[in-house]
A and B are shown apart, each in its own frame.
Chain A
């Protein structure tokens, strides 16, 4: 299962990134580079979906792919797919139903908070309705506080019924297997939620498959809860203050605030005691993440056109190749910026 996931990433990276980039992507490293990679190569959905992955496990999966002759090495720790590999990937993608709604980048860490709230609410209501004492399944102060406030002065029986109906509606629109996985992960008055491994054993499948399917269900649920407040009033309440519009690293966020105030890159570097290079990294990150951020002040239209043309013609996202094609008067910063923006618009 992991090897297929790796195969998928390697296919998108097309030999232009190493195994380390796959590792950073799947574990959700919040660096400008990884955030951009996920956009450029349209790998947003798998960003941060396997946070406990170790580099060793990934290397082992790569070894297996090499042995199967599904990939060949093109550079140190970079690989491309063979024909057999492409065929295997194609075959697997047909069964990878969890890709439908999975969006790791959009819901990174938010899905966890959403799940904490939802599952603790379910556990609390179920125990209230059945008059049981219980130990909260999560230890997360902010979640406790939220659930406490939310349940305050509400009739638990009515709320339990309403939440049941909302979850039932969601589950009914899922496959039998997806609904089962989701339900088994919940903790009630009589049953502590099952682990991925336990569910996998019960359904005779792979724990990673269970994990990804579960996340896909969560993301689907979050999307609907966000968009359909009338249909899902409780779920909408759970999510409404969690979704944020942009995800930037903290440092890039500060740079962004200065940019909005009209400062130039050089000025921001001086103010923040950082190297101009670092600020440029931030600008690229902002371009990749903030939809209405214009790169026009940093790149002339002529240069932008040239870069796009070269990238399309050469079918590459490698900076070096593009630079060779467009000539030295265009900087790496400009190329990165244009690619970041292009990735942003093709992804959305």
Chain B
């Protein structure tokens, strides 16, 4: 594979991870109107769950569904135990709560697993050759898994009865309750789904970044940028933005001399600022999805 092509593919796979976590952010926001700053830390926690299972000798593709199930349950639990208590508390309260959750989960993970950096096995074996070819193939694997997750979400929301009920709750929770829908449970399920999607992002990014309690910090920043670009509503724009950010970051880090590895975290910041400076009109006329 040529060097540039490899860079682009790796950028896309990193971007797919950003897109995954961004989708988790969008899900939580659509269901409960909250920007969950702790989404990345929940994904980190999921990744540790996966690591423990792998460490106990479970094969990766068996550990993944177990991790997903644990994560969905965990997300629902967080909604139930924390979020539901502060629901009507105003935006700043909610920001404080999710940021507090971020710090708490991070510290707790450090306490349990220490801040030592661990390596996380790459689930995609070298199908062909070594070196660049291998990283090319594992990047395609990451892209494939994220694509499957997105397809699953699409099918869930558009083609199942449960998805229809979730969309009704998102559209109008009061009318949904009058139709006999147990809205509280559906909102919990939304948090669970988001935690599951975040878990996939965490597990996929861990082999690239190494496993440690702070691993999702940078990813969260990129995911927030992608979610902002999608106005916390549009899944297609969000995913495209995540992929674009991944490619932009990788290429800038490699080809733009002064950016390098340290400055490239500034890319999402620039994107957020640029989006916020765009004329508001564009956002306001965006059709409701």
Bind each other: no
Chain A positions within 8 Å of B, measured between CB atoms, are: none
